[in-house]
Amino acid sequence: MNIQKNYSLKNRNTFGIDVKAQFFVDIAAEEDLQLILTDENFRHLPKLILGGGSNILLTDNFPGLVIKISIPGIEIVKEDKESVFIKAGAGEIWHSLVLHCVERNFGGIENLSLIPGTVGAAPMQNIGAYGQEIKNVFESLEGYYTENVGKKIFNKTECSFAYRDSIFKRELKNKFIITSVTLQLSKSPVLNLDYGTIREEIEKLSGGRRIDELSIKNVSDVICNIRRSKLPDPARIGNAGSFFKNPEVEEEKFAVLKKSFPEIPGYKLRNKKVKIHAAWLIEQCGWKGKRVGETGVHERHALVLVNYGNAKGSEILSLANSIRKSVEKKFGIRLEEEINVV
Q: Which residues bind ligand EPU (CB under 6 A)?
A: 129-130, 196, 230, 241-242, 245-246, 265, 277, 279-280, 283, 288, 301-303, 338
CA distance 190 to 209: 16
CA distance 180 to 173: 17
The residue (of 69 and 115) whose beta carbon lies closer to ligand EPU is: 115
Residue type at position 89: G
Specify whether the CB–CB gap between 97 and 156 falls below 8 A.
no
The residue (of 87 and 298) whose beta carbon lies closer to ligand EPU is: 298
Nearest approach, Cβ of residue 204 and ligand EPU (Å): 17
Q: Which helix (H) or strand (E) holds 35?
A: helix 30-38
Nearest approach, Cβ of residue 329 and ligand FAD (Å): 28
Q: Would residue 210 show up in a list of annotated catalytic residues for this protein?
A: no
Report the partner that residue 277 touches, choosing among ligand EPU, ligand FAD, none (CB closer than 5 to 8 A by kind).
Answer: ligand EPU
Q: Would residue 338 show up in a list of annotated catalytic residues for this protein?
A: yes
Task: Give the nearest residue (CB) to ligand EPU.
Answer: 241
The residue (of 60 and 299) whose beta carbon lies closer to ligand EPU is: 299
CA distance 180 to 28: 12
Query: Under the rule (CB under 6 A), what is the footprint of ligand FAD?
Result: 14, 49-56, 69, 90, 115-118, 120-122, 124-125, 127-129, 168, 174, 177-178, 231, 234, 239-241, 340
SS (H, E, C) 208-250: CCCHHHCCHHHHHHHHHHHHHHHCCCCCCCEEEEECECCCEEE
Report long-range pairs for 72-76 (Cβ below 8 Å, ≥24 apart).
Answer: 72/28, 73/180, 74/100
The residue (of 118 and 220) whose beta carbon lies closer to ligand FAD is: 118
SS (H, E, C) 163-215: CCECCCCCCCCCCEEEEEEEEEEECCCCCCCCCCCHHHHHHHHCCCCCHHHCC
Catalytic residue among 83, 110, 242, 324: 242
Nearest approach, Cβ of residue 75 and ligand FAD (Å): 18
Specify whether the CB–CB gap between 342 and 314 falls below 8 A.
no
Catalytic residue among 30, 54, 113, 164: 164
Report the partner that residue 230 touches, choosing among ligand EPU, ligand FAD, none (CB closer than 5 to 8 A by kind).
Answer: ligand EPU
Please, which residues have CB within 8 angstroms of residue 328's CB and are 6 or more apart in sequence? 334, 335
Rounded to 5°, angle at Cα 291 from 325 and 331: 25
Report the partner that residue 280 touches, choosing among ligand EPU, ligand FAD, none (CB closer than 5 to 8 A by kind).
Answer: ligand EPU
Q: Would residue 96 show up in a list of annotated catalytic residues for this protein?
A: no
Nearest approach, Cβ of residue 258 and ligand EPU (Å): 14
Report the partner that residue 49 touches, choosing among ligand EPU, ligand FAD, none (CB closer than 5 to 8 A by kind).
Answer: ligand FAD
The residue (of 113 and 140) whose beta carbon lies closer to ligand EPU is: 113
Catalytic residues: 164, 242, 338
